[in-house]
Amino acid sequence: MTNTRPWWDEFRAKMPVVEKWAYFDHAGVAPLPQPTADVLIDFARDNAANGVADWNRWRSTVETARGLGARLLGADRDEIAVIHNTTEGINFVAEGYPWQPGDNVVTLSSEFPSNLYPWMNLASRGVEARLVAVKEERVDPAAIEKACDSRTRVLAVSWVGYLTGWRNDLLQLAEIAKRHGAFFFVDVIQGLGMFPLDVRDVPVDGLAADGHKWLLGPEGAGLFYLRKERFGQLRPIGVGWNSVRHSGDFTNTALDLKTDASRYEGGSHCLAAIAGLAKSLELLVGIGRETISQRLLEVTDRLCERLARTGLTVASCRDGERRSGIVAFDVPGRNPLEVKKECKARGVIVNARGGRMRASPHVYGNDADIDRLIDAVTASG
């Protein structure tokens, strides 16, 4: 750019965390942008001063988040529910599907527990959870195909693996699900907002993510997508006063459920968290998915180059479309948890998963952050 800072430097200026930390744990819990923090402060002050007087103002942020989530996914607004977390969204499908004894769900052995336990918990209903063996998160579609049969009702996978950042080809997996007549569910928390995903092009039936990782939102607010054609198939779970078309009319106790995905928003919303999520979504959607994706891969590619020059082995697959924002690497002869602790003492936030270091920078990360990480890791030895 001429006479102006690159857009990611402008974005960096909105991240107070950089004043103290080199931050490499967006796959864990992300720091908030200042505009998002300002919204939370505004909510707290307004609530303290006015109670419910401005409730409608804050309730409108639910619809803002819904609309931005729809734009992010290429979905219709009525296919989006604003939820509390990924686990909640997964359970909407796991507990709402019309299972019969002898049915099965196919998932991966490398999944984060939130995308395992809800399926395993169906054993008491006679449903088998088939875990396809996966090494280093490198998914073999043929092995998934082999695990599916005429009784496979759901195929549930993560878009991006949490251990090493392997990014799945969702279109290929969607085709497997379609061949077996299975509901295709995706945990998108490690990729949503960072990489393009249009549910009109990739026939995902349902997905979920909360906003406290790559979306840079507060904990307690996220998104659930359910394809319209699946509304009638799932039994609504978590039904409450806000699930009906006459919500707010408490004397009318008819169970007349909403006909869109907001039926899953059964009770009161966590309006502070949702207002924060809406602001963070506004920031990211304004940049654009392709632009964000390109920048994130540039940052992680440079990180991998520096790790390799330092003599540290990168365990993540860095081939083309398999790349993500997660970089797992080995520090030979060192306990990753100890390295993580020592890095923090040197002003670097990084994580450890599966016996390795896990670095997950965001688009505002730069070479100076990478230098700090390399120096901290090597100094810890």
181-210 per-position pLDDT tens digit: 999 999 999 999 999 999 999 999 999 999
- Token pair listed for 50: 């006015």
Q: Which residue has the higher pLDDT, 74 or 4?
A: 74
Tell me the per-residue pLDDT of 97-140, one tens digit each, with 9 for 90 and over.
999 999 999 999 999 999 999 999 999 999 999 999 999 999 99
Task: Flag whether pLDDT at 314 surpasses 90.
Answer: yes
Report angle CA 6, 38, 248 to the nearest 5 degrees.
Answer: 125
Report angle CA 351, 117, 132 to the nearest 5 degrees.
Answer: 85
Cβ(349)–Cβ(22) below 8 Å: yes
Cβ(236)–Cβ(264) below 8 Å: yes
Residue 32 confidence (pLDDT): 98
Residue 294 confidence (pLDDT): 98
Residue 3 confidence (pLDDT): 55
Question: Average pLDDT of the chain?
Answer: 97
Phi, psi of 160 (to 5 degrees): -125, 130
Residue 5 confidence (pLDDT): 87
Q: Distance of CA 72 to CAs 34, 77, 183, 193, 282, Å?
A: 22, 11, 22, 7, 10
Band the pLDDT of 381: cuts 50, 70, 90. Answer: low
Tell me the per-residue pLDDT of 232-252, one tens digit each, with 9 for 90 and over.
999 999 999 999 999 999 999
Lowest mean pLDDT among 2-11, 253-262, 331-340: 2-11
Task: Flag whether pLDDT at 1 surpasses 50.
Answer: no
Considering only the C-alpha atoms of the chain, give the largest distance between any 2 of them, rounded to a whole number of Å.
Answer: 69
Residue 380 confidence (pLDDT): 58
Please name the amino acid found at residue 296: L
Residue 2 confidence (pLDDT): 46
Helix, strand, or coil here: 110? coil
Locate the domains of the chain by residue range. Answer: 7-27+289-379, 41-286
* CA-based nearest residue to 194, from 224, 216, 220, 227: 216
* Fold observed for domain 7-27+289-379: Aspartate Aminotransferase, domain 1 (3.90.1150)
* Fold observed for domain 41-286: Aspartate Aminotransferase; domain 2 (3.40.640)
Please name the amino acid found at residue 222: G
Q: Which helix (H) or strand (E) holds 339?
A: helix 336-345
Tell me the per-residue pLDDT of 6-39, one tens digit each, with 9 for 90 and over.
999 999 999 999 999 999 999 999 999 999 999 9
Q: % helix / strand / coil in the chain, to the nearest 5?
A: 45, 15, 40
- Token pair listed for 379: 């100094």
Neighbour order of strands in the sheet with 356-359: 327-329, 356-359, 351-353
